[in-house]
Amino acid sequence: SMIDEQILALPVQTLAAERGHLYCWTTDSHLELALQCVRHWGYEFKRTIVWVKIQRPELRMNRAMGLLDRLMLDPSNGDLREALADALAELSTPKVRIGGGHYVRSAHELCLFAVRGGLTGLVRDVPSVLFVPRTEHSAKPEELQNLAERLSPGPRIEIFARRQRREWLCWGNECPAEPVKETV
């Protein structure tokens, strides 16, 4: 874990190309720091991309299948029929996965999209919301990187990475190290 000053001191402005896009993850409680970092690193904030954390669909499917199994053993049970109908209806709508929070419970994270040097996007059909299940603690969804590959020209770098990704320079204390060879 890093303190605010260490995050601000990251050499993003020297690693990045003169024209580029920045995707900066934050939570509501750290939004002011994230905006400060974006400006300090030489970028202009443009938009937020919201990751709505949903329950894993297979967990909801398991519930429906369990109710179906029970109903097959007791087909006249009206309560089970009603519960199964509700469970099946829920499958078509993402269910938010609620986390902690003081005033309201967190169910999302924000990714700040910022631009340096006036670089435009490659496409104009990218949504600002991702509905993706949460996986391991602090892991970010691959769908955001897929989005970045559609919207932003390369080369690409990820800091605080946990794994390598094709056509990205990824580094972090949980990722196999690769030396930075050029600005991105």
Percent of the chain clearing pLDDT 70 (strictly above): 96
Distance of CA 50 to the CA centre of its chain: 7
Mean pLDDT of 125-150: 92
Give the pLDDT confidence of 60-72 residue by residue, as tens digits: 788 889 999 999 9
pLDDT of 182 above 60: no
d(CA 174, CA 172): 5
The overall average pLDDT reported for the chain is 89
Q: Is the dihedral of CA 54, 57, 63, 64 positive or negative?
A: positive
Name the band, by pLDDT with cuts 50, 70 and 90, for residue 175: confident
Name the band, by pLDDT with cuts 50, 70 and 90, for residue 177: low
> Does residue 35 contact residue 8 with C-beta atoms inside 8 Å?
no
Q: Which of 13-27, 122-136, 148-162, 170-184 has the lowest mean pLDDT?
A: 170-184
d(CA 157, CA 177): 12
pLDDT of 184 above 60: no
Question: What would be the CATH architecture of the domain defined by 4-55+95-171?
Answer: 3-Layer(aba) Sandwich (3.40)
Mean pLDDT of 116-140: 92
> Does residue 108 contact residue 71 with C-beta atoms inside 8 Å?
no
What pLDDT does residue 60 have?
A: 76
pLDDT of 82 above 60: yes
Name the band, by pLDDT with cuts 50, 70 and 90, for residue 154: confident
Please report, for the chain, the start and end positions of each structural domain, with discontinuous segments joined by +.
4-55+95-171, 58-91
What pLDDT does residue 159 have?
A: 84
Q: Which residues contact residue 123 at a Cβ distance below 8 angstroms, ignoring those fewer than 6 apart?
A: 150, 151
